[in-house]
Structure 1
């Protein structure tokens, strides 16, 4: 079973799309940690056989208040990646954000040697349009130095750097074979003994579609959510300029129509792609995430074990499972949570 872990706070429409596309992209079962009470989303996920929904708010964190969004994501992913260690059905685990879709070529994973325990899904970022008529099917891949120089010379990007081309992350998303000495993070696999990042295997058959601010409406939704999530975006150099601009605009208290117009202008200046030029140059990759077969559904008894593990973990101190916590009590607690299931 290929499992994904995600901490999500979004609309039921977006969550339904996220689930459907990831199942078509190679994930067998999704564990979705809801970051806030969302009754309509809960109703959608509770009835879905391919999803385990965890109410990861309030009592989930006990008496210890959680940190920002990034810390909650890391803790949730690391917890489940260690809970499932030793279960034969837990073959691979991936960390995905709510605006990401895995594209996993299963034969690539099957061909890896046993000692290759961590992989990386390389990013394909959705080409952005201001007012698209449908969800994007054209995606940007990471470019070579010469390709970046070409785009800069043509005036498509401000600098011949990957950061001028990609709006979102460029490192991709990690996956691992669940192991007692490894933990899954947001962008890295971590050795729980040393706290060091683990080398990952990269392959063209292992990709992740990233819908980073792919249109004006999503741009506004994403940044408004980020600024209200507890995540200190100012600490992230890549995000800080846009975050500061959006925050400043929202704080001005302008009329709603005027604010919307200025947000759209901000989007055009900071996030809009020159899709026409990129298409002429042949630099975009076409992907249809709503098409294709999906793998057979995992057996009910295996899914039941996964859900029972998460139910048992509801009352434990989640912080001891953070990748770099190196808490000596964690292995014994995991063994206790697994008792009678393996």
Structure 2
């Protein structure tokens, strides 16, 4: 079974789309940590055979300060990856954001050496448009130095650097063969004994569609969510100027129409891609995430075991699962949660 973990706070429509596309893209079962009460989303997922959701807010954290969004994402992903370690059905696990779609060629995973424990889904970022009538099907791939230099000279990007070309992350998302000594984070896998990052393997068959601010509406939604997430996004070097600008704009408390107009101007300045030039240079990749069929569903008994593990984890101390905490209680806590659920390797 290929499992994914996502911390989500979004609309029912977006969650439905996220689930559907990732099942087609190669995920066998999705674990969604709801970051706030989402009644409409819960109603949709209650009887969904391919999704297990967790109310990961309020009492989920016990006495632990859950921290900002990034800390909550890391904690939730690490919890699942360590909890399922040792169960034969837990073959691979990936961490995804709510605006990402995994594109996993199963044959790429199957041909890996068994000693390969960590892989990485390389990102393809959706080309942004101002007022599109449909979701994007054209995506930017990572470019080499010569291609970046060309775009810079043409005036498409401000610097001949990947960070000037991509709005979102460039590292992609990790996947791990669940193991007791590894913890899955948002962008890296951590060795729980040393606290160090574990090197990953890439393959053309392992990619990720990233819908980072692909239109003006999503741009506004994304930034409003970030600014209310508990993370100080202004501390992130790449995001700092834009975060400060949007925060300052909102603090002015302008009329709604004026605020919307200014946000759109920021979008055009910071996030809008030159679709015509990129298309003519043939550096874009076409992908249709709603086309295709999903793999056969995992056995019901395996999914029941996964859900029982997550049910038991509700009252467990969440701090022990954090990748770099190296809490000596972790093996005992995990062993207690796993005991009697099913057969371990």
Question: What band does the TM-score fall into relative to the shorter chain?
Answer: over 0.9
- CA deviations 1:134-154 (Å, max 9, x no partner) are 000000000000000110111
What secondary structure is seen at the aligned counterpart in 1 of 2:7?
A: strand
8 Å Cα contact 2:74-2:322 kept in structure 1:
yes
Say whether residues 1:149 and 2:141 are aligned partners: no
8 Å Cα contact 2:124-2:209 kept in structure 1:
yes
What secondary structure is seen at the aligned counterpart in 1 of 2:219?
A: helix
Stretches of structure 2 that go unaligned for 5 or more consecutive residues are: none
1:3 matched to which residue of 2? 3
How many residue pairs get aligned? The number is 342
Distance 1:105 1:309 in 2: 28
Distance 2:93 2:44 in 1: 23
Say whether residues 1:102 and 2:85 are aligned partners: no
Cα RMSD after superposing both structures = 0.6
| Residue 63 of structure 1, CA deviation | 1.8
Distance 1:118 1:49 in 2: 27
| Residue 236 of structure 1, CA deviation | 1.1
| Residue 333 of structure 1, CA deviation | 1.1
Distance 1:87 1:46 in 2: 25
8 Å Cα contact 2:250-2:259 kept in structure 1:
yes
Runs (4+) of structure 1 exceeding 4 A deviation are none
Say whether residues 1:114 and 2:111 are aligned partners: no
Distance 1:251 1:320 in 2: 38
Say whether residues 1:201 and 2:201 are aligned partners: yes
Alignment of structure 1 residues 225-236 onto 2, 5 Å: 225-236=225-236
Stretches of structure 1 that go unaligned for 5 or more consecutive residues are: none
| Residue 329 of structure 1, CA deviation | 1.0
Distance 1:332 1:317 in 2: 12
1:170 matched to which residue of 2? 170
Distance 2:140 2:234 in 1: 26
1:38 matched to which residue of 2? 38
Say whether residues 1:124 and 2:124 are aligned partners: yes
- CA deviations 1:167-210 (Å, max 9, x no partner) are 00000000000001100000000000000000000011100110
| Residue 278 of structure 1, CA deviation | 0.2
What secondary structure is seen at the aligned counterpart in 2 of 1:315?
A: coil
1:301 matched to which residue of 2? 301
Distance 2:245 2:139 in 1: 26
Distance 1:211 1:59 in 2: 31
Normalised to the residue count of structure 2, the TM-score between the two structures is 0.98
